[in-house]
Chains A and B, each alone.
Chain A
Amino acid sequence: MSKHDKQEMIVRHKLFDRICHWFIVAAGLVTFLTGFSFFYPSFQWMGAIAGTPQLAQFVHPVAGLMMCLPLMLMLVRYYKHNKWEKHDLAWMLAIKDVMFENEDKIPPIGHYNPGQKVLFRAFVLTSITLTVTGLIMWQPYFAPYFSATVVGWAIVLHAISALIMLIFVMVHFWMATWVEGSVTGMLYGKVSKAWCRKHHPVMLDEHSDVEKH
């Protein structure tokens, strides 16, 4: 190890996953803005991204599927990095040190830290419930096949799941912009070895024989 490896880069996100991620961001933006226009009628202007309120009603479920289906694919591809491990608990207990950047007190973790693994689980759960309840309440195509009671409960569950997903997306955005280098990693795929040593030290071992560059 010497200063020669100062900017030595390592692949963290493959091209396919990066395209998936930013496609989900674009579709999710449309979905959440139009969804807001129904959830908060006073803020109907948010749905104007779709043109008219009627178009927002048409676009929302389509954009929702375009968000959820690639998200599910990405979650399947990232499952291997998100298995819960024994030492994850220690990191969770040291969450205060993580948030306040007391680096010497943070237990080392791999490709994803337990916080990210919780986010992963939240996205698995919400993407499934949003898709299922969204199909049940989808007017005029699918809702007529379900009873009013079922549709009524689908609407509440859809709202709860969307709120949970939104809050996790906000945390995701907050953490990604706080931990500098993460957004570049998702944009161009590579992070520096120094970044890995600081944030995901075990990842260096995981990657030592593959994807090294």
Chain B
Amino acid sequence: MASQDIIRRSGTSEMTPAAKGRNSSEKVAKLFDATKCNGCKACQVSCSEWNDLREEVGSFQGSYQNPMSLSGQCWTLMEFHEVMESNKLRWQFTHSACMHCADPACLTACSTSGAIIQHANGVVDFDSDKCIGCGYCASACPFDVPKIDPKDNKAYKCTMCSDRLAVGLEPACVKSCTTGALRYGTREDMLFYSQKRVEELQQKGFPNAGLYNPEGVGGTGMMMILHDINQPESYNMPDNPQIPLSLTLWQDWVKPLGTMGILATAAVACLHKITVGRNIVEEDQPGYQPPAEEAKQEEEDDK
């Protein structure tokens, strides 16, 4: 069965786009409201349950956060950020997982046809069967999300439970959220809801409350409501995530210029060989006779 809902496929020429006949589905989004999260880790547990992930038990690192970072066996992580403000300590929780960028750098960087795909609903998904483990996605992601699993040398990350979405269910993390901090729906609905929620927060004494939906990556399929949108770093989120300059240079400049260089060299070489002809040492040709005068001269030299 052809995957009719794929709108973008890594390593594929724009001249041969993926099948677009049936992609009328609406863009979806997951919304994480950091102001409602209490760090219960239900999202992290349900993610590993649904996706059959079992990260090895690590050792205590001075934080409730465990493991300390995303990995091939941990696609959703509850991050515990300790923030000191006016001599008061508080936690800020980040539901850390793939942001599902509208313009995904990982997909642009991928070295393999169709190993990274974007579905019509906006979800960015990895096809692990095709992945070759080059790690280009991991170096390109502005959120440091994709991780290579040492067990099989393949890249993994949150799929937004694309298998659940395909049959009309919500992502496992959203299903299990105990406080309603995680929501899932059409992107339009999530934007509408977050606007109301941000206004509410601003009235309740958080004037800088706002929606984290960075434009540098075309907006994200996971958006975050933060109590202070001017300090996303306090949630360990980049202030202004961008598609890396190195990636743009590589894909948009080095590739076409390099291709032109290769073809031009080949063309000049062929033209040169055809027009100038063979460059042979006449003396070495079978049956070569030195010109008469030269031969005479040589005979004289010999004498």
In contact, B276 and A100 (Cβ under 8 angstroms): yes
Residues of chain B within 8 A of A3, CB atoms compared = 290, 295, 298
User: Chain A 134-155, CB within 8 Å of chain B: the 1/0 string?
Assistant: 0001011001100011011101
The segment from B8-16, B92-100, B192-200, B224-232 that touches chain A is B8-16
Residues of B within 8 A of A144 (CB): 148
Are A6 and B283 in contact (CB-based, < 8 A)? yes
A193 to B278, CA, bound (A): 19
Residue of B nearest to A100 (CB): B276
B150 near A180: Cβ-Cβ < 8 Å: no
Asked if B52 CB lies within 8 Å of chain A CBs, one says: no
Residue from A38, A143, A160 within 8 A of B139 (CB atoms) = A143
Taking a contact as CB atoms under 8 Å apart, the answer to whether A170 and B266 are in contact is: yes
**A41, A149, A152, A171: the one within 8 Å of B11 (CB):** A41
Please give, as numbers and ranges, the residues of chain A lying within 8 Å of B276 by CB-CB distance. 99-101, 178
User: B17 interface residue, CB < 8 Å from A?
Assistant: no
Q: Assess whether A152 is in contact with B273, with CB atoms less than 8 Å apart.
A: no
B283 touches A152 (CB 8 A): no
Whole-angstrom CA separation of A101 from B295 in the bound complex? 24
Q: Give chain A residues whose Cβ lies under 8 Å from the Cβ of B266.
A: 170
Size of B's binding interface in residues, CB under 8 A: 52
Q: Are A140 and B262 in contact (CB under 8 A)?
A: no
Q: How big is chain A's contact interface, by range?
A: 35 or more
Residues of B within 8 A of A (CB): 10-13, 109-113, 130, 132-136, 138-141, 144, 148, 150, 153, 244, 246-247, 249-250, 254-255, 258, 261-262, 265-266, 269, 272-273, 276, 278-284, 288, 290, 295, 298, 301-302
Q: Are B132 and A53 in contact (CB under 8 A)?
A: yes
Interface of A: prevailing SS? helix
Instruction: Please state if B136 and A155 are interface contacts (CB–CB under 8 Å).
Output: yes
In the complex the two chains form, is A180's CB within 8 Å of B269's CB? no
Which residues on the A side are within 8 Å of B148 (C-beta)? Answer: 139-140, 144
For the complex, give the distance between the alpha carbons of A149 and B278 in Å: 49
Kindly list the 9 A-B residue pairs having the minimum CB-CB distance in the complex, ordered from nearest: A41-B11, A194-B283, A139-B135, A151-B139, A163-B258, A38-B111, A174-B269, A152-B246, A57-B132
- Bound CA–CA A143/B150 (angstroms): 12
Given contacts A57-B132, A139-B153, A149-B246, 12 further A-B contacts (CB under 8 A): A3-B290, A38-B132, A41-B10, A42-B12, A42-B13, A139-B133, A139-B148, A143-B138, A155-B109, A167-B265, A178-B279, A192-B283
Is the beta-carbon distance between B265 and A148 smaller than 8 angstroms? Answer: no
Inter-subunit contact A171/B269 (CB<8 Å): yes
